[in-house]
Amino acid sequence: MGVVGATGYTGIEVLRVLAHHPRVRVHFATSEGSSGEPSALPGLPLVSGDEAALDEVDAIFLCLPHGKAVEWALRAAEANVGVVDLTADHRPGSGREEGWVYGMADLAADRIAGARKVANPGCYPTGVQLALHPLVGGGLIRSGYPVVINAASGVTGAGRTPKRELLFAEVASDFRAYATGNGHRHLLEMRAGLPGLPLLFQPHLLPLARGILETIYLPVTPGADAAAVRAAWRTAYQGAPTISVSDGSPTLAEVVGTDRLVLGASDNAGLPELVTLLVSFDNLGKGAAGQAVHNMNLMLGLDPALGLRC
């Protein structure tokens, strides 16, 4: 394996997961600015991109800033090396998704198994699609009504490039909405994965390093309720190694530092037309590195859960 861009939060997390993976070895980890320094994997120094020995690896993870993956993808194709791209560059809605398999590992295992180029989903869209996909087919969603997705994320989702608004003293006592106006890049990706649903997506920034909680207000068909939602999830995700359905209320505490995702649902007294869905996961785990390694396992024909923190 190779990890390209190994000093950002996702790159470091991919290295952490691979460190305990029983079947793969990391051959290189790149960084343009810190070449020669230690990587997050004990004993493996960082190298520059030019020094990366593509011919020694089966696949690479692209953990670069958005926009920087295109060139590496071409280089990997020439070297006949598999790619899991954790950037937004080849996701649905990017305009460059052609020829790429969208890596929702729990929804498209078959397609991923035969792929060489996998676009790893964004963090927010991972949770939204895993929550809503099984309900779309089941006739539970009332069509034509907006689906409100209220989301909150820890700051590692914004990357490791120094910016004033990400400084400790700016974030530490605050909570705020951002990207108001339904214009977040991830919304295009959600809509591509859930065509026909009128989605409203409003993210917020938590004073936490890690973790995403999505609270989704779902218009349901008459008679449908939280129990029906949970039943549909349990059917869809039977055997899914990283997904669990809770009868209670999912929390960040139970998922941070893992590759798990927890789903919950509750009815609303006096408002039977809306069921509240809750989805919790680690934006760097299931929302990035966990699903990336899951995808790599599928691409290489390994046990899908190998190395994952379930």
**Active-site positions?**
123
Q: Does 209 bind its own copies (CB under 8 A)?
A: yes
21 binds its own copies (CB under 8 A): no
Q: How far apart are CA 176 and CA 94, in angstroms?
A: 27
Q: Compute the chain's Rg from CA coordinates.
A: 19
Is 95 exposed, middle or buried, given 0-12, 13-18 or 19+ CB atoms closer than 10 A?
A: exposed
From the list 24-32, 65-73, 76-84, 144-152, the region that binds its own copies by CB under 8 A is 144-152
CB of 186 to its own copies, least distance (A): 13
DSSP 65: P
When asked if residue 195 is in the footprint of its own copies (CB under 8 A), the reply is no
Q: What is the DSSP letter of 157?
A: G
Q: Which one, of 205, 221, 280, lies nearest residue 249 by Cα? A: 280
Q: Which of 148, 157, 182 is nearest to 252 (CA)?
A: 157
Within 10 Å of residue 214's Cβ, how many Cβ atoms? 25
Query: Contact between 43 and its own copies (CB under 8 A)?
Result: no
Dist CA 194 CA 117 (whole Å) = 22
**Site membership for its own copies, residue 283 (CB under 8 A):** no
Phi then psi for residue 90, to 5 deg, are -125, 20
Does 215 bind its own copies (CB under 8 A)? Our answer is: yes
Rounded to the nearest whole angstrom, what is the least distance from the CB of residue 158 to its own copies in the complex? 9
Q: Which of 123, 95, 111 is nearest to 103 (CA)?
A: 111
| Number of residues this chain uses to bind its own copies (CB under 8 A) | 61
Interface region with its own copies, contact rule CB under 8 A, candidates 24-32, 133-141, 260-268, 292-300: 260-268
Tokens 């993870």 belong to residue = 61
Among 22, 181, 223, 239, binds its own copies (CB under 8 A): 181
Q: Which stretch binds its own copies (CB under 8 A): 47-55, 92-100, 266-274, 290-298?
A: 266-274
Chain residues in the site for its own copies (CB under 8 A): 9, 146, 148, 150, 152, 154-156, 160, 162-164, 166-178, 180-183, 198, 200, 202, 204, 206-211, 213, 215, 217, 249-253, 256-257, 264, 266-271, 273-274, 276, 278, 280
